């Protein structure tokens, strides 16, 4: 299945990290004109504070400690078994591949930010530390999600070519503003996709990424001087919505592996 996501635009930088040749669009907050023809089901991304030590939440250790504290296995956890439904597995792989698109987007963005900062030091202190942490986590998420897809018998989608507005590699504020939009998109996508996940192991895995993405959002909001958690509940986004939000940053067609969408 071939999915056309977006055309390149003059304001975007899809060449080398930090190339400056445009301005930053407000692509993630509405007003998008990109018409997506995607049959994708999917999710989104995750993060860490300056003290984050792992790119995914440690659900295994938590489960073990919960079992110890309660003196035995927790019924709900023990009864959670992988689905054997072929359709369920197929849907889960499609969801994970949509998540992988968002993870690739984040990983590429932060890698380019770090490279641009190494070239001309446009970030300072905590901003630089955050960029390095975010780049590390998102690269790990790409691997984590890819491995889960393979584990389910699927084929991970290849990384598409990305483009970014040039000022995100020049202005710390522009970098942070795009970062928080990407992270919020991921948080909303993972949450929105959760009810569609068939396999509870996949759901648990996605939750471990979701938690880190939410921490990333808080970290970036802190650096922007905003409220870390501006609302009591996260807002879910549909897969289609989340992938459409990513579309302006993708410069050409994505070819989804057979059976993933
Ligand atoms: Fe991520």
Per-residue pLDDT of the chain (261 residues; tens, 9 = 90+): 334 333 333 345 554 343 333 333 444 443 333 333 333 333 333 323 334 456 666 544 333 343 333 334 433 334 445 555 888 889 999 999 999 999 999 999 999 999 999 999 999 999 999 999 999 999 999 999 999 999 999 999 999 999 999 999 999 999 999 999 999 999 999 999 999 999 999 999 999 999 999 999 999 999 999 999 999 999 999 999 999 999 999 997 655 655 554
Does residue 261 belong to any structural domain of this protein?
no
* Residues lying with their CB under 5 A of ligand 1, a single-atom ion: 45-46, 103, 138, 141
**Residue 32 belongs to some domain of the structure:** yes
Q: Are 194 and 91 in contact (CB under 8 A)?
A: no
Question: What's the gap in Å between 36 CA and the centre of ligand 1?
Answer: 22
Overall domain count for the chain: 1
74: left (phi over 0), alpha (psi -120 to 50) or beta: beta
The helix (H) or strand (E) run that includes residue 176 is helix 172-193
Residue 11, in any domain of the structure: yes
Residue 260 lies in a domain: no
| Residue 83 within a domain | yes
Taking the centre of ligand 1 as the mean of its atom positions, its distance from the CA of residue 229, in whole angstroms, is 18
- Any domain includes 39: yes
Residue 246 lies in a domain: yes
Position 245 in a domain: yes
CB atoms within 10 A of CB 236: 16
Q: Closest Cα partner for 20 from 144, 116, 148? A: 116
Provide the residue range defining the domain that includes 109: 2-255
What CATH number does residue 126 fall under? 1.20.1260.10
Q: Which one-letter DSSP state was computed for residue 56?
A: S
53: three-class secondary structure by DSSP = coil
């Amino acid at each position: 299945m071939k999915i056309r996501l977006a055309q390149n635009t003059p304001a975007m930088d899809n060449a080398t990290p930090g190339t400056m040749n445009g301005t930053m669009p407000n692509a993630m907050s509405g007003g998008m004109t990109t018409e997506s023809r995607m049959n994708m089901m999917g999710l989104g991304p995750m993060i860490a504070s300056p003290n984050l030590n792992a790119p995914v939440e440690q659900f295994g250790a938590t489960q073990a400690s919960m079992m110890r504290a309660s003196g035995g296995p927790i019924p709900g956890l023990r009864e959670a078994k992988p689905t054997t439904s072929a359709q369920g597995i197929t849907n889960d792989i499609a969801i994970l591949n949509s998540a992988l698109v968002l993870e690739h987007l984040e990983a590429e963005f932060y890698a380019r930010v770090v490279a641009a900062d190494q070239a001309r030091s446009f970030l300072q202190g905590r901003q630089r530390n955050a960029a390095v942490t975010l780049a590390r986590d998102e690269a790990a998420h790409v691997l984590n999600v890819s491995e889960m897809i393979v584990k389910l018998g699927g084929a991970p989608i290849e990384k598409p070519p990305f483009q970014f507005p040039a000022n995100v590699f020049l202005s710390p504020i522009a970098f942070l503003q795009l970062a928080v939009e990407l992270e919020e998109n991921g948080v909303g996508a993972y949450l929105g996709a959760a009810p569609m996940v068939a396999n509870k192991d996949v759901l648990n895995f996605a939750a471990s990424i979701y938690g880190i993405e939410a921490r990333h959002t808080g970290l970036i909001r802190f650096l922007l001087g905003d409220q870390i958690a501006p609302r009591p509940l996260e807002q879910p986004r549909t897969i289609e919505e989340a992938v459409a939000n990513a579309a302006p940053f993708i410069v050409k067609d994505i070819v989804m592996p057979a059976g993933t969408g």
